[in-house]
């Protein structure tokens, strides 16, 4: 059953497993890396909000076919899911952004650019999952309203991909980004280059407003109702990615104001393709798989108070570093 309701059946892009050459793998903020991979098939078919499932190992990610198994890395065993941050369809590359939070991501951060089938290539599976649904009502001059993108920490990644798609469709959008401190902010310039206004919040006040990104969202939604007389902005959709407590707060605000809201979720994941039922979240229709029924869900369908959603990758990235995968932010909102 499709609990997305309004959403048409996916024109689903067929996932592929490829050993993708690493074009670049650069630390863009403390412990945060941006990796660019040559993956023409995935670059061509991926949709905003989809992810790739990545073998995280620095000792070569390829296995020789046949009976011998040299080169097969079994520890860490599971792939790690990362949201696609950007696709360059002409250059046939995809960008991933990840934070080093465990052994797998630590190994991934050491992979240097190289060639397919050799060191310097990464075994990836994708594109996977159901991404953001961009309603037609958002586009054009007679749009029902603007879009509001809300990101916490690494949650910026899928929203950058989404921002490119929104810009292509001439959707007007505002962006709110939160992080613990100024040095952990990244990707802001990409939103701005697309012509979207970005508002910032940091926990320590080192950039933008001091506090949580959800406070920015609350103010914007009040303004959009014409809080102080002037009807300023009307939001017709919210797209959010970040730690679960942030998403819960955004979902509540959106619900109160009647603004449709889509959230990208994370949960410990094994197969990534929908087979193992490991990564479920509690929805109004029962448990649903983050990897195949999500990672993007309608916020109104999610029970944010369920056990699994107080998710914290903690000191390990064991099969858990989903697209948002941000231990700092998750802890930040635990208080």
* Of 165, 168, 187, 167, nearest in space to 177 by CA: 187
One DSSP character per residue, 238-297 reads: EEEES-HHHHHHHHHHHHHHT--EEEE-----SSSSSSS--SEEEETTEEEETTTT-BEE
Q: Residue 13 Cβ, how far from other proteins at the closest point, in Å?
A: 10
Q: Residue 79 Cβ, how far from other proteins at the closest point, in Å?
A: 7
Q: Which is nearer to other proteins, 42 or 147 (CB)?
A: 42
Q: Residue 279 Cβ, how far from other proteins at the closest point, in Å?
A: 7
Q: Which is nearer to other proteins, 232 or 287 (CB)?
A: 287
How many angstroms separate the CA atoms of 150 and 324, rounded?
12
Token pair listed for 288: 């649903």
Whats the size of the chain, residue-wise?
A: 335
Q: Which is nearer to other proteins, 79 or 86 (CB)?
A: 79
Q: Which is nearer to other proteins, 86 or 322 (CB)?
A: 322
Token pair listed for 259: 């603004």
Q: Residue 220 Cβ, how far from other proteins at the closest point, in Å?
A: 32
What burial letters (b/e) apply to 68-106, b meaning 16+ CB within 10 Å?
eeeeebeebebbbbbbbbbbeeeeebbbbbbbbbbbbbe
Q: Which is nearer to other proteins, 28 or 276 (CB)?
A: 276
For the beta carbon of residue 331, count every other beta carbon within 10 angstroms.
14
Q: Which is nearer to other proteins, 197 or 314 (CB)?
A: 314
Backbone angles phi, psi at 119, to 5 degrees: -55, 145
Q: Residue 147 Cβ, how far from other proteins at the closest point, in Å?
A: 30
Q: Residue 309 Cβ, how far from other proteins at the closest point, in Å?
A: 8
Q: Which is nearer to other proteins, 137 or 316 (CB)?
A: 316
Cα angle, residue 162 at apex, residues 159 and 166 outer, rounded to 5°: 130
Q: Residue 183 Cβ, how far from other proteins at the closest point, in Å?
A: 23
Which chain residues interact with other proteins by CB under 8 A?
A: 14-15, 17, 55, 63, 65-69, 72, 74-79, 125, 267-282, 286-287, 292, 306-308, 311-312, 314-316, 318-320
How many angstroms separate the CA atoms of 212 and 217, rounded?
9
Largest pairwise CA distance in the chain: 73
């Amino acid at each position: 059953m499709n609990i997305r309701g309004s959403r048409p059946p996916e024109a689903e892009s067929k996932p592929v497993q490829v050993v993708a050459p690493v074009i670049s793998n650069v630390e863009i903020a403390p412990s945060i890396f941006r990796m660019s991979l040559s993956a023409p098939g995935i670059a061509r078919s991926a949709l905003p909000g989809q992810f790739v499932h990545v073998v995280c190992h620095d000792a070569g990610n390829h296995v020789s076919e046949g009976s011998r198994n040299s080169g097969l890395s079994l520890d860490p065993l599971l792939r790690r899911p990362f949201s696609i941050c950007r696709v360059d369809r002409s250059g046939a590359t995809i960008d991933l952004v990840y934070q080093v939070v465990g052994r797998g991501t630590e190994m991934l951060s050491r992979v240097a650019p190289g060639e397919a089938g050799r060191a310097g290539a990464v075994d990836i599976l994708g594109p996977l999952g159901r991404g953001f649904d961009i309603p037609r009502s958002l586009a054009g001059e007679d749009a029902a309203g603007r879009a509001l993108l809300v990101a916490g920490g690494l949650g910026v990644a899928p929203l950058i991909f989404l921002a490119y798609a929104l810009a292509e469709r001439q959707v007007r959008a505002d962006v709110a980004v939160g992080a613990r401190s100024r040095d952990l902010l990244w990707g802001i310039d990409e939103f701005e280059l697309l012509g979207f206004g970005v508002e910032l919040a940091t926990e320590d006040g080192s950039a933008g407003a001091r506090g949580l990104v959800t406070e920015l969202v609350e103010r914007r939604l009040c303004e959009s109702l014409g809080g102080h007389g002037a009807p300023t902005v009307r939001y017709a959709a919210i797209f959010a990615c970040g730690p679960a407590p942030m998403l819960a707060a955004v979902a509540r605000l959106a619900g109160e104001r009647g603004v449709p809201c889509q959230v990208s979720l994370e949960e410990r994941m094994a197969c990534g393709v929908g087979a193992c039922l490991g990564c479920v979240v509690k929805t109004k229709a029962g448990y649903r798989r983050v990897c195949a029924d999500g990672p993007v869900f309608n916020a109104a369908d999610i029970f944010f108070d369920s056990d699994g959603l107080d998710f914290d990758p903690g000191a390990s990235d064991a099969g858990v570093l989903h697209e948002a995968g941000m231990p700092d932010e998750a802890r930040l909102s635990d208080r």
